[in-house]
Structure 1
Amino acid sequence: MTTYPVKVVMNDAFSTLDEFIDSLDESEGRSSGDKSNFVLGHQALGYVYGKEVTLAPCGPVHGLMSSVYYNSNQQNESDNDDDDADDEREQLSCQLFRGIQQNFNVVRYHSLVVDFPDDAFSGDSEIESIAWCKGLVGNEEEYPSDICMALRHKQYPHVGVQFHPESIGTGEAGYQIIRNFCDFAYQYKMNNKKEGLVRGESIDAAESSLPATVQLKTNDLIASKTSHHQIYIHKLEGQSSSSSHPEEVFQELFSSRENSFWLDSSTGKTQLDNGEDNEGCPIISNSRFSIMGSNDGPLSRKIEYFGIEHPKEKRGLRVTLNSGNTETSTIDTDILSYLRQTLIEDGGFSDHVHMVSFNETEGDQTFHAATDIELPFDYRGGYVGFLGYELRHITQCSLFELEGGHGCTINDSDASRERTNPNVPTAAFFFADRSLLFDHHTGDWYLVGVANKDEYHIDDMLGWMKGTQAQIEAIGKLPSSTISSSSFVPNRPKDQYQMDIARSHEEIRNGESYELCVTNQLEAEITLPKRSDKKLHESPFDLYKILRTNNPAPFSAFMNFYNKDDDDSSDALLLSPYAAPHQNGESESSDMVKTINDRIMQELRDSTKDQAENLMIVDLLRNDLGRVCEVGSVHVPYLMNIESYATVHQMVSTVRGNLDGNTSNAIDVIEACFPGGSMTGAPKQRTMEILNEIEEGVSRGPYSGCLGYISSNGCMDMNIIIRSAILTPIPNTDDSMECWKASIGCGGAITALI
């Protein structure tokens, strides 16, 4: 959208600016700064100057297209006073639509409009309408009335547009509108040498006074040759045709351990067989690898954070070392601050890799350093875990301070702690110093180790590599698992959920939100036969094996944070087999299958609701990534593509940007984008407030958060947690059975269409 950096401040943080683009103008109608207002700012401008803001006659319009036509004569009037402002204003009239053809298409997100009941070019009104539409593209005849799409003050340099020129759907016309405004503002600035202020300070001074937590950026985390850790990788050669399957390896090596993880892909090989080796698609390229490990290396540790949804005595961050020692931080420490600080203390990010090879004939082991080694994956060991949805309180405060706000406080009065599982942390990670990576495309295994630079740790790690290789080569096939079905009970019953949908539609009609992702929690007790050859925490893995078989997905995970000996720690297991909502068709006839699938794909491709949802989230993510990426680098290479998987079709858009390495790192990306807009709706902050009321303050837990890794080299790969189950053990009087509480998050996006 722009090749120059944009300074973003909270809407109450500015005093005077030469120019600003505002989404909510708080009645400073007669200030000297130039204003271009979008949507709410456009409506506020109309209200301040005496117009009525009413419900749109056609109803809410969010993520949909309209054709706009405009008045090409946009000269300002003289105010006939004794000052010299008249001539200046006439010379600096904002030709907002210069260079744009009539009847250009725009994206609209609004439920309210500025009402111009009389002729737009007459009367004593201080403002006038300068652009209109007659409905939506394709149904202009159904809503023929002119709807104001842009207005301006007749004397002051204040303009507003009802549509979104910055939307990916508005395209080049939107870019031109912003260029026109910037050109106009630049000319105005040349005639009015005024410094922009934020709360009485110059913008540059205000930025330098941001809190230290906001200024702590990637400069301390840049790839460093002084890192305290070294990365070792051993590739198991000659395993392509006979290598053990990841499920078998995890079962044998990690399922019996109390703290373990598996970032799984059960579709990687299938995609390769189908000729889908497409590195341009992140779903296919990133799902090529599975990563697994446990919390038992000499440098490993488990980090658990309990946020405001937990009782005060439970809150805080706990770090459990492999030796079993536990240290508890202060209540003010959150997990993102901890991760950022420990990465600094560890010496920053490092991508210096030592490739390890073994000489079997002589029985010794050697390794050599290779800084320019090309590996097909980014993972180098590091932090593996999840961030639950309620971490939103931390990330939203960080954004508030980043954009000029001060004194952000987290209100915990609306958290329903009596309905929060005390054993499930808000967020949890392992520091994985020893892990395994499997390449589904080649069948190769990689052993990834992180060690200190002393000789003892290096020798110990090399011994682990040799032993693990021998274990993998000796693994045999495993029997399949079965489990009885269970009935789940919703946290909020059907009648209440229908009322929640009605409430969501009302909020959308009133202009409070464009889209709300309303969720619910389903709970059940799962009873399993107790087996003498298995420990309690091993049983959920049998359930996960069934899920990944019945619902193969490009991204899924099994995480075990079980700890039977620590009352303050978590007893939670996360099962997350990812999927999307559009089912593939099934039939015995392959021709019929293709016909049904083609029809379903076309229905999805033509779905107005899915298009609107997708467009809204794409625009939201472009905004989020724009906070941390290089100026002008955020782009959308794929918009609303239809992709097919084992059991589903889904509409996929890809948003990309180049991370600004001078100011941002992986933790900053999380703070800028979390929680994912597809699990909240838009605009994000206000929508989350409404959702918290609708969902009765009940914590979503890991559901709607994200899971993945933050690698030792600074790379990060996180996926939003959707279809998932949280299992925690519950007391059981039957010695022959074991009992688990299972919680599943579910929900969907609520929109309003004409």
Structure 2
Amino acid sequence: MIHPGHTCNPVEPVVVSVEHMETREGQAFVSMLVQVLNSVCTARTHTDWDADRDLPHAPGECPDVVLITGRGTSGHCMLRVLPGPQDSRFGAPTEISVLDLSHPEAPLHAADALAQLPALAAVRGFGQLSAPPSLSRVSLEAYPDPEAVFHEFYGLSSHRVWLDSSNSATDPVAGRNRYSIMADDSGTRGMRAQHANGVTTVESKLVVTRISGPFFSWLERNWYSNPAPDPDLPSGLEFALGWLGYLGYELKRECGGNAVESPLPDASLIRCSRAVVFDHEARCVFLLAEAGAEGRRWCSDAALRIGRLPSAARRLSSGLPVVQFSGADSGQSYLRKIAACQDEIVQGNSYEVCLTTQIFDDLHESLDPWDFYRRLRRASPAPFASFVQLGTVAIASSSPERFLSITADGQVRAEPIKGTRRRDASPESDRQLKHELRTSTKDRAENIMIVDLMRNDLSRHAQPGTVSVTRLCDVETYTTAHQLVSTIEAKIARDRSRAAVVAAAYPPGSMTGAPKISSMDILDRLESRPRGPYSGVVGYFSPTGAADLAVTIRSAVFSTHSTDGQRLSVGIGGAITADSDPDDELAEIHTKATAILRVFGAPFPISAHAGRVRARATVPP
């Protein structure tokens, strides 16, 4: 165990536990680890164990490193490298741990163990995150089937992400989803990060770091490198590797909302050191990797593998297991909650409340989320679709909604959705539904309220005079629904943090209502359950300062627990205003579940014929 004192940028105790230090590999690992700690710690205190007090060192002084025996090991063999006599009173909790060297994934030789040290040096607990190396980009003329590529490269990975522009050919906004991105956490600098119970746990191969504190504080330190890399990327692509994954709705506790416990992580991300990127406009593929020998080897191997893949999509295998959804609310209970929202609006506690519910099934037969997503992306393509599998949690999404995009030079764009109509098989009826949505006073009012909320959120960190609405209440058409969409843009002020911009707008206003804080309080009381990844976001944070995040809607969430098996849940909801018709709102959540229900061939479990609830309050004149 290695304890580099009480202040190590930042002032958090850092403890490293190494099992089997009596082995040759363990001794070599720890000796090199001492050198790493001495090189990355700029200031710390020296602990006088006998006096039970700390003696401060001057900033910049090369720090001593205290070595403490590993748990359950013969650590006496390390005495020769200790700075002085040691005590046995060492009970500090482990915040950084290195796996037992007898672990199946542990290195067999000291050289392999030492190869993990660059990753350890990059861990935030030991100081500033080191700037990533420059990028290598290899362009390929091939344009294979994306599903085949994802399966070939990431089919066996337990932590993988595909940000999938699955409707690139039919997107109503030209160029918006030109690129699709695939990655996992492989490679020397690959990492995993998960936030739960106020602690961010970062895994880098054999190194595990636990950092207490808010997630957005961790994100601020680990997202944007300074100086940022200057990658040679195609026009319109802001992704230059970085962190990919999801943020859950319950992170609202850091953004003014109440703390609600969730059984799933509040955030889960991977840091990728290489990725496959599809350019759907140029119909080609290119490979991104961190510069260096490892990156060159990966690009060379990846190019050969892609060249062997088919260009046409493969036929789907046999059908999915039978799913029998249940509703978290009955039709009657959902209608009562709509009435309660309207009561809150009449009392002046909100203008608009984005009420949600869930349909779910505790699966008796295992269901592969990847098999489901392949069907979903074909049945319901979307500009911000995604497949995210991070350990025991998987998200299969056909989201049409962008939360925020941020460019490297600080341009921010939000594209909230509010207002929905179902599609109809009759072209004439479908056109009528689209016209009805476009001209609906009620739907336009819902949308404009969220636009105003987003304008306010962005203005908190924007340069004065740069916040503008560039598109208001436009209709976008997708496979199962027409949507009312607006666009808000701004320029981030130079002295403002990128993570602060995301936190100021979080959770997405289209999933809370307005005013945001009061509406979230109302929703906590009425919904009485965590939303989990639903209503949060999926996307990436790149070291250039760029990000692109989609709202997690029209999504199926799969979670696996060792005791309870696999649960499938689908969140659905809609905005409630004083003018909302309860039956229409109930029909709307059915529309929003349609794409996923069709893939399973399952009925909607919440009765649309529950009968009107007349407890609805009357808006005073």
Shorter-chain TM-score above 0.5: yes
Asked whether the 8 Å contact 2:131–2:227 carries over to 1, the reply is: no
1:471 to 298, 305, 308: 305
The one-letter code matched in structure 2 to 1:607 is S
Asked whether the 8 Å contact 1:665–1:714 carries over to 2, the reply is: no
Distance (Å, rounded) in 2 between the aligned partners of 1:396 and 1:635: 25
Task: Indicate how the Cα distance of structure 1 residues 600 and 513 shifts in structure 2: closer, same or farther if over 3 A, else same.
Answer: same
Cα shift readout 1:177-229 (whole Å, capped 9, x = no counterpart): xxxxxxxxxxxxxxxxxxxxxxxxxxxxxxxxxxxxxxxxxxxxxxxxx9732
Q: Does 1:693 align with 2:525?
A: yes
Q: Which residue of 1 aligns with 2:421?
A: 582
Distance (Å, rounded) in 2 between the aligned partners of 1:375 and 1:549: 27
Q: Does 1:328 align with 2:210?
A: yes
Larger radius of gyration: 1
Could you tell me how far 1:665 is from its partner in structure 2? 3.5
2:304 alignment partner, SS class: helix
Cα shift readout 1:659-692 (whole Å, capped 9, x = no counterpart): 11x2223212111100111100000011111110
Asked whether the 8 Å contact 2:399–2:550 carries over to 1, the reply is: no
Distance (Å, rounded) in 2 between the aligned partners of 1:435 and 1:375: 17
Asked whether the 8 Å contact 1:381–1:432 carries over to 2, the reply is: yes
Distance (Å, rounded) in 1 between the aligned partners of 2:558 and 2:435: 38
Could you tell me how far 1:641 is from its partner in structure 2? 1.2
Q: Which residue of 1 aligns with 2:544?
A: 713
Q: Which residue of 2 aligns with 1:545?
A: 374
The one-letter code matched in structure 2 to 1:436 is V
Q: Does 1:316 align with 2:137?
A: no
1:229 to 117, 132, 156: 132
Distance (Å, rounded) in 2 between the aligned partners of 1:686 and 1:659: 26
Could you tell me how far 1:292 is from its partner in structure 2? 0.7
Task: Indicate how the Cα distance of structure 1 residues 665 and 305 shifts in structure 2: closer, same or farther if over 3 A, else same.
Answer: same
Write the mapping of 1:142-221 to structure 2, written as runs, cut at 5 A.
none
1:439 to 279, 284, 299: 279
Q: Which residue of 1 aligns with 2:219?
A: 339
Asked whether the 8 Å contact 2:558–2:569 carries over to 1, the reply is: yes
Q: Which residue of 2 aligns with 1:680?
A: 512
The one-letter code matched in structure 2 to 1:325 is V
Cα shift readout 1:15-53 (whole Å, capped 9, x = no counterpart): xxxxxxxxxxxxxxxxxxxxxxxxxxxxxxxxxxxxxxx
Write the mapping of 1:110-129 to structure 2, written as runs, cut at 5 A.
none
Distance (Å, rounded) in 2 between the aligned partners of 1:304 and 1:227: 20
Could you tell me how far 1:731 is from its partner in structure 2? 5.5
Could you tell me how far 1:231 is from its partner in structure 2? 3.2
Could you tell me how far 1:270 is from its partner in structure 2? 3.3
Q: Does 1:251 align with 2:151?
A: yes
Write the mapping of 1:342-361 to structure 2, written as runs, cut at 5 A.
342-343=222-223, 347-348=225-226, 350-353=228-231
2:342 to 479, 490, 505: 505
Cα shift readout 1:359-407 (whole Å, capped 9, x = no counterpart): xxxxxxxxxxxxxx6533111111111111111111228xxxxxxxxxx
The one-letter code matched in structure 1 to 2:211 is S
Cα shift readout 1:284-343 (whole Å, capped 9, x = no counterpart): 433111111111121111100014xxxxxxx5211111x23322223xx22211121234
Asked whether the 8 Å contact 2:137–2:288 carries over to 1, the reply is: yes
Write the mapping of 1:213-612 to structure 2, written as runs, cut at 5 A.
228-239=131-142, 243-271=143-171, 281=173, 284-307=174-197, 315-321=198-204, 323-330=205-212, 333-343=213-223, 347-348=225-226, 350-353=228-231, 375-396=235-256, 412=259, 415=260, 417=261, 420-421=262-263, 424-451=264-291, 458-476=292-310, 477-481=313-317, 482-528=319-365, 539-562=368-391, 571-579=392-400, 581-587=420-426, 593=427, 595-612=428-445
1:623 alignment partner, SS class: helix
Cα shift readout 1:589-641 (whole Å, capped 9, x = no counterpart): xxxx2x23321111101112211100100111110111111101111111111
The one-letter code matched in structure 2 to 1:329 is I
Asked whether the 8 Å contact 2:468–2:489 carries over to 1, the reply is: yes
Distance (Å, rounded) in 2 between the aligned partners of 1:728 and 1:525: 10
Could you tell me how far 1:730 is from its partner in structure 2? 4.8
Distance (Å, rounded) in 1 between the aligned partners of 2:387 and 2:351: 34
Distance (Å, rounded) in 1 between the aligned partners of 2:134 and 2:337: 50
| Structure 2: gaps (5+ residues) | 1-128, 401-416, 580-618
Task: Indicate how the Cα distance of structure 1 residues 556 and 349 shifts in structure 2: closer, same or farther if over 3 A, else same.
Answer: farther
Task: Indicate how the Cα distance of structure 1 residues 496 and 624 shifts in structure 2: closer, same or farther if over 3 A, else same.
Answer: same
Distance (Å, rounded) in 1 between the aligned partners of 2:155 and 2:227: 30
The one-letter code matched in structure 2 to 1:742 is L
Task: Indicate how the Cα distance of structure 1 residues 523 and 647 shifts in structure 2: closer, same or farther if over 3 A, else same.
Answer: closer
1:556 alignment partner, SS class: strand
Asked whether the 8 Å contact 1:637–1:655 carries over to 2, the reply is: yes
Distance (Å, rounded) in 2 between the aligned partners of 1:479 and 1:519: 35
Asked whether the 8 Å contact 1:235–1:444 carries over to 2, the reply is: no
Could you tell me how far 1:577 is from its partner in structure 2? 1.6
2:216 alignment partner, SS class: helix
Could you tell me how far 1:525 is from its partner in structure 2? 2.5
The one-letter code matched in structure 2 to 1:437 is V
Task: Indicate how the Cα distance of structure 1 residues 433 and 287 shifts in structure 2: closer, same or farther if over 3 A, else same.
Answer: same
Cα shift readout 1:64-105 (whole Å, capped 9, x = no counterpart): xxxxxxxxxxxxxxxxxxxxxxxxxxxxxxxxxxxxxxxxxx
Aligned length: 431
The one-letter code matched in structure 2 to 1:318 is T
Could you tell me how far 1:505 is from its partner in structure 2? 0.7
2:566 alignment partner, SS class: strand
The one-letter code matched in structure 2 to 1:637 is T
The one-letter code matched in structure 2 to 1:479 is R
Could you tell me how far 1:251 is from its partner in structure 2? 1.4
Asked whether the 8 Å contact 1:349–1:714 carries over to 2, the reply is: no
The one-letter code matched in structure 1 to 2:477 is S
Q: Which residue of 1 aligns with 2:588?
A: none
Asked whether the 8 Å contact 1:384–1:709 carries over to 2, the reply is: yes
Asked whether the 8 Å contact 1:729–1:740 carries over to 2, the reply is: yes
Distance (Å, rounded) in 2 between the aligned partners of 1:230 and 1:687: 44
The one-letter code matched in structure 1 to 2:133 is Q
Distance (Å, rounded) in 2 between the aligned partners of 1:380 and 1:654: 25
Q: Does 1:748 align with 2:571?
A: no
With normalisation by structure 2, the TM-score equals 0.66
Cα shift readout 1:455-483 (whole Å, capped 9, x = no counterpart): xxx01111101111111111135331421
1:744 alignment partner, SS class: strand
Q: Which residue of 1 aligns with 2:57?
A: none
Distance (Å, rounded) in 1 between the aligned partners of 2:393 and 2:140: 36
Could you tell me how far 1:647 is from its partner in structure 2? 3.3
2:449 alignment partner, SS class: helix
1:236 alignment partner, SS class: strand
Task: Indicate how the Cα distance of structure 1 residues 306 and 610 shifts in structure 2: closer, same or farther if over 3 A, else same.
Answer: same
Task: Indicate how the Cα distance of structure 1 residues 600 and 235 shifts in structure 2: closer, same or farther if over 3 A, else same.
Answer: farther
Asked whether the 8 Å contact 1:230–1:352 carries over to 2, the reply is: no
Task: Indicate how the Cα distance of structure 1 residues 554 and 342 shifts in structure 2: closer, same or farther if over 3 A, else same.
Answer: closer
